[in-house]
Amino acid sequence: MSNTVADIAVTGGVVVNSREMKQADVYISDGLVDGVEPAGSGRQAKKTIDADGRLVLPGIIDAHLHPVYADRIDTLSQAAVWGGITTLVPYVGAVKAWGMEGGLVGAIDTFIEEGETSSVIDFGYHCSLVGENIETIAETMPKLIDAGVTSFKGFMTYARRGMLLSDEELLQVMELVTEHGALFAVHAENGPLVDYLEDKFIAEGKETPEYYLPSHPNIAEAEAVFRALTLASAVGCPMYLPHLTCKESLEVVRLFRQWGAPSPLFAETCTHFLTLTDAEMTRRGSLAKVGPPLRQQDDIEALWQGVDEGTIDVVASDSGGPMMEKKEPLFEKVFQAPFGFPGQETMFTVTYDEGINHGRVTLPRLVQVTTENPARIFGLYPQKGVLEKGSDADLVIFDPSVRHKVEAANQHVKIDYTMYEGRECLGAPVLVMQRGKVLLEDGEFKATPGQGKFLPRKLISHSE
């Protein structure tokens, strides 16, 4: 135990990490954690924050979001703070529809600049690759890695949006990722099958929202997961599977882990896949259209089991989508409506409410999949993802007794609807801190644009 006077003491709370919950005081100096010590150790601090009766968590990390539609990183980072999130790792790239054309390196530089001037919290980036980036990827990948962008993503679907990579292109990128010790993510859905089914439904006049899920069957995802992992294991590529949605995909992940390759192999799901079903398509029309789609209750059960037992490593938001006015005229024309909806602010609180208050998972496990695991997988650990001496003092004081109702009117993104309209949640962040600075306290927002720093990330091959 240190005897020096700390800048800040957060006292009386229950500190939660991936292994345990314990009554402890967190000391902070110079923006770093300066010690987590047994409660009442009596060490001096210039300022004391009382966390009595509350939980003290490492700042939540959202490792999957898209700051390229109605909301960019300015408003998404603000909404994140309201939801207890202190680090974002969004997907960006050189895509015309995302307001970015030309070379990949220039596009990523521009996104970094945008974040440094407008984000209120720290951020890194994943690089999304589309067809037109492949020709030059051998030259661009090392430059992006040097800049601290150490994870790449390809799409096995969305041919009509110019995003699909063929198996040959996937292999080419996987070889490079392997060679550089980086990490590869795939949006795994069998695109040609999905396109075929969509065309067929449209030809039969079946264009209403209830045909969306049948056009994206579970097996289309599971097959693509199987194929991606087959390709990756053939070239030894480290793999990350974002937004898994169904029980069949988890079976495939378990099978490949049993077979031992590819290694490492990480899996993610999102809050909406743990909490919402396809019934939302009927209730809310195309507002609920997201890729991959919302599925059914037995998939929700399988995903929670996956979170609980460790098949799922990360829970993220996949936040991003258009304003209501872009979806509303197409409520009944589901195949023409745009994808995506907001989930930034609700990511942790809704997952907590469903996971903890409904007894689906333990608190240390929930903290692991939303802090430590994303930090380790994406090369930010132990700077982020843990409260221990030397880590950034990013923390959340979470009050499990605060009741609140989610409504579009009280959310902080630009997007003017939420999938959780009217949902009552128990438990909310009451104080959010980044590097020792308070960003949110008792409903008062104290963060300023540009306060967030770009986080160059380590390669998975160098991660702890």
Helices (H), 33-131: 73-82, 104-118
For the bound state, the minimum distance from the C-beta of residue 279 to Zn ion, rounded and expressed in Å, comes to 22
What's the angle, vertex CA 128, arms to CA 304 and CA 148, rounded to 5?
95
Instruction: State which residue, 86 or 245, has the beta carbon closest to Zn ion.
Output: 245
Task: Report the distance separating Cα 376 and Cα 384, nearest Å.
Answer: 9
Beta bridge pairs of residue 27: 9, 35
Instruction: State which residue, 93 or 382, has the beta carbon closest to Zn ion.
Output: 93
For the bound state, the minimum distance from the C-beta of residue 154 to Zn ion, rounded and expressed in Å, comes to 12
Q: What is the largest CA-CA distance in the chain?
A: 75
Stretch that binds Zn ion, among 104-112, 161-169, 261-269, 313-321 (CB under 5 A): 313-321
What part of residues 318-347 is at the interface with Zn ion (CB under 5 A)?
318
Locate 408 and state its tokens.
Answer: 């579009």
Stretch that binds Zn ion, among 163-171, 311-319, 330-338, 343-351 (CB under 5 A): 311-319
For the bound state, the minimum distance from the C-beta of residue 318 to Zn ion, rounded and expressed in Å, comes to 4
Instruction: State which residue, 89 or 222, has the beta carbon closest to Zn ion.
Output: 89
For the bound state, the minimum distance from the C-beta of residue 291 to Zn ion, rounded and expressed in Å, comes to 8
CB atoms within 10 A of CB 412: 18
Q: In the block, which residue shows the tokens 């008062």?
A: 444
Instruction: State which residue, 61 or 397, has the beta carbon closest to Zn ion.
Output: 61
Output the residue with the shortest Cβ distance to Zn ion: 318
CB atoms within 10 A of CB 151: 26
**Count of residues touching Zn ion (by CB under 5 A):** 1
For the bound state, the minimum distance from the C-beta of residue 7 to Zn ion, rounded and expressed in Å, comes to 38
Stretch that binds Zn ion, among 16-24, 300-308, 317-325, 450-458 (CB under 5 A): 317-325
Cα 231 to the center of its chain, rounded Å: 25
Instruction: State which residue, 223 or 318, has the beta carbon closest to Zn ion.
Output: 318
**Edge-to-edge, what's the strand order for the sheet holding 122-123?**
60-62, 85-88, 122-123
CA distances from 122 to 229, 311, 349, 433 (A): 31, 28, 20, 11
46 class by beta-carbon count within 10 Å (0-12 exposed, 13-18 middle, 19+ buried): exposed
Stretch that binds Zn ion, among 131-139, 292-300, 315-323, 433-441 (CB under 5 A): 315-323
Stretch that binds Zn ion, among 98-106, 207-215, 316-324, 374-382 (CB under 5 A): 316-324
Q: What is the chain's alpha carbon radius of gyration, rounded to the nearest angstrom?
A: 21
CA distances from 255 to 183, 230, 249, 261 (A): 20, 11, 10, 10
For the bound state, the minimum distance from the C-beta of residue 243 to Zn ion, rounded and expressed in Å, comes to 6
Q: Under a CB-based contact definition with an 8 Å cutoff, are residues 316 and 374 in contact?
A: yes
Instruction: State which residue, 18 or 351, has the beta carbon closest to Zn ion.
Output: 351
Instruction: State which residue, 278 or 318, has the beta carbon closest to Zn ion.
Output: 318
Stretch that binds Zn ion, among 7-15, 107-115, 202-210, 310-318 (CB under 5 A): 310-318
Instruction: State which residue, 104 or 356, has the beta carbon closest to Zn ion.
Output: 104
- If one asks whether residue 198 binds Zn ion (CB under 5 A), the answer comes out as no
Task: Report the distance separating Cα 305 and Cα 112, nearest Å.
Answer: 37
- If one asks whether residue 221 binds Zn ion (CB under 5 A), the answer comes out as no
Contacting positions for Zn ion (CB under 5 A): 318
